[in-house]
Every structure is written in structure tokens, then in C-alpha cells.
Amino acid sequence: MTAILIVEDDVLANEYLEFILRQAGHEVVSATSADEAAELLEDREDVQLLVTDVNLPGTMNGLKLAAAAKARRPEMNIIIVTGYSAPKNDEIPPGSLFVPKPYTPKDDRGDTAFPVAAPAEVDRPSPRGP
């Protein structure tokens, strides 16, 4: 089974996102800093999706973590989250998604609003076309 790594220093936001993803059937691993996440990525080859906040404590922020993860593992799917201004397109690795905070567990149809597609589907375009 593949895992999702959440990197979030806000404990409540981390627990909330963990809950959403586990309810959707995903295995979840958490870190509270980019440094801790980098160590986990070294040890956990099963992590195929990285969900990282931008503003994190430690020697690097979430954008630098995302770039390092994509450089080391090009197949890595990445979701960048922040409650502040959205990063510029050239600040996030190619193929990554941006999701603004706060996120909600349900959209207007009752579906999970956070993009919890299977990791292999995150970069893949829709087969239905535009």
C-alpha cells in the first residue's frame, strides 16, 4: 500500500487532514517540519504523495522540501497547501497541485473536497478530456 506524507506544523490542521485522508482509506504518515519529512522520505519508499504546508519550522520551507522531493523522486506527487498567498507557478514543482487552506471535508455535492485521488492519478490528465 502506498502512503501519504503530511507535513504540517499546526497540530489541529494536521490531525484534521489526517482524519480526512484516513477516512478516504489512505495510509498516512505525518511530520511537523520539512527536516523531519526529508528524513521520512529517505526511509519510506512507499510514500507516493507529499502534502506540505509552505510555512514550516526548520532549515527549509515546504516549497524547498517539495522541490527536493521531486528532484530525488520525480514520480512523487505533491500537493502544496497554505493559508497565506498562493505560491507563484514557478515556485512549485511541475505537476504539483496547490490547495488553499482552510480546506473543507465536503463540497456542495457531499464529496470530499480535498483532492484525495489515488497517488498514481494525481498527475494524470482526465481521460474525458477538457
Instruction: Kindly write down the DSSP assignment for every residue of the chain, as one continuous string.
Output: --EEEEE-S-HHHHHHHHHHHHHTT-EEEEESSHHHHHHHHHH-TTEEEEEEESS-SSSS-HHHHHHHHHHH-TT-EEEEEESSSPPPGGGS-TT-EEEESSP-S--TTSS--S----GGGSSSPPTT--
Task: Specify the higher pLDDT residue, 1 or 89.
Answer: 89
Dump pLDDT digits (tens) for 14-65.
998 898 888 888 999 999 999 999 999 999 999 999 999 999 998 999 999 9
Q: CATH 3.40.50.2300: does it fit domain 3-116? A: yes
Mean pLDDT of the chain: 83
Q: Helix, strand or coil for residue 4?
A: strand
